[in-house]
Homo-oligomer: A and B are copies of this chain.
């Protein structure tokens, strides 16, 4: 009895996948993203705002992570993993120990909590940097991690868009001057634009307030979606945008940059960047000796992307009444291979594997209607069907986001689905 789902992690037999499709939307799940992702077997809700990522969902997350990592490496980010349990001295030093969304952690037998669960890492990062930075020669640098964050969101009703526990990429940069920070800030903003485009969705660079994180202006990357939690005012022509919370502009005003018309849009924040200045450097004595021999505080920036939230954004943006429609770069598999009416698609499965194509093979004994409905719900970009009706040596090929299917030779179909570059 062998239950290997795949010879390597690129491929999987659906008969071995331990999750199953749900025909109906789950109860007690008001958000569309979590409904779709739960029905497809991507996520499991453990409690309000807290989800586990199942095999299909975890594959999507790993694709998102890989793209984010590549672009962070490209702007000099050095990957690390900081601790998740934070001794209370960290938030006490920066004055954030009593922030409402912070979960505190208490050991058995203790009366008071000694730690908080990581809600952000400016304090930890500043303390680590203070060990290694002493001269201007040690600057600039940037370090990032992909890690779980914990925040006690009072309204955890947006599925994985706003969880109490979520994966985040957070990059921190360290500079000898504000000028150098803003040079890097612009570079990071360009990298962010590229990341969201690669992930399959455009994000609008938006002026925003900084909330807990900073006193000065910050920026968000907003994905325009009907269900948005935020509202932005954005120019239809040049895309200059402000978050409604701080906007001086309103619907119909002329754009201050190009004169175009400003529009209000409901949207979701996919990333944010903050010029932190010296707040955390001062709290953790992060100083350096300048070229002129003067002691100065290091100037910091921080740059976040919600990794699990990104999966929620893609689900909200790319679906129809039948289910999910994954962009190619973040799909759990590239091809969904279906065998119908007892046909054996194993030779096609093996050919796809040899060609390096990620494939989920639905080898189960189910009706065509059921297989098609489940494939539509899961939302893999290409559907390839092997059946007696299609004929020997041929397959039926269809994109998830198109109606038209095409019958063609196996080899021609495989050539068609081989990724060109960047997984697209």
Contact = CB atoms under 8 A, between A and B. Distances in A.
A83 B140 contact: no
Given A46-B83, A52-B83, A152-B107, A76 B138 contact: no
B76 A4 contact: yes
A420 interface: no
Interface residue tally on A, bucketed by range: 35 or more
Interface stretch (A142-150, A204-212, A218-226, A389-397): A142-150
Contact of A105 (B2, B105, B180): B105
Contacts of A109: 100
Nearest to A103: B105
A422 B344 CA distance: 34
Interface stretch (A12-20, A262-270, A345-353): A12-20
Given A69-B9, A78-B55, A108-B152, A50 B85 contact: yes
A117 interface: yes
A240 interface: no
A128 interface: yes
Contact of A4 (B20, B75, B148): B75
B87 A50 contact: yes
Interface string A50-84: 11111101100100000001000111101111111
A250 interface: no
A79 B106 contact: no
Contacts of A46: 82-83, 85-87, 124, 127
A1 interface: yes
Query: Which of A75, A82, A100 gathers most chain B CB within 10 Å?
Result: A82
A6 interface: yes
Query: Which of A57, A99, A113, A152 gathers most chain B CB within 10 Å?
Result: A152
Contacts of A108: 98-102, 104, 152
A44 interface: yes
Contacts of A76: 2-5, 16
A316 to B, nearest CB: 21
A23 interface: no
B106 A113 contact: yes
A117 B105 contact: yes
A131 interface: yes
A18 B132 contact: yes
Contacts of A3: 76, 140-142
B106 A44 contact: no
Interface string A109-151: 1000101010000001001110111000010111100001010
A150 B117 CA distance: 11
Given A16-B141, A103-B105, A128 B44 contact: yes
Given A50-B87, A128-B52, A148-B84, A17 B78 contact: yes
Contacts of A9: 69, 73, 79
A143 B55 contact: yes
A415 interface: no
Contacts of A164: 85
A107 B105 CA distance: 9
Given A52-B81, A55-B143, A150-B85, A180 B1 contact: yes
A20 B54 CA distance: 39
Query: Which of A53, A84, A138 gathers most chain B CB within 10 Å?
Result: A84
24 contacts: A1-B183, A3-B76, A3-B141, A6-B73, A8-B73, A9-B73, A18-B138, A18-B141, A46-B124, A47-B87, A50-B85, A54-B80, A57-B80, A58-B79, A58-B81, A61-B81, A84-B84, A85-B150, A100-B109, A104-B105, A104-B107, A105-B106, A105-B150, A117-B117
Q: Nearest 4 pairs between A and B by C-beta?
A: A47-B87, A4-B76, A18-B141, A52-B82
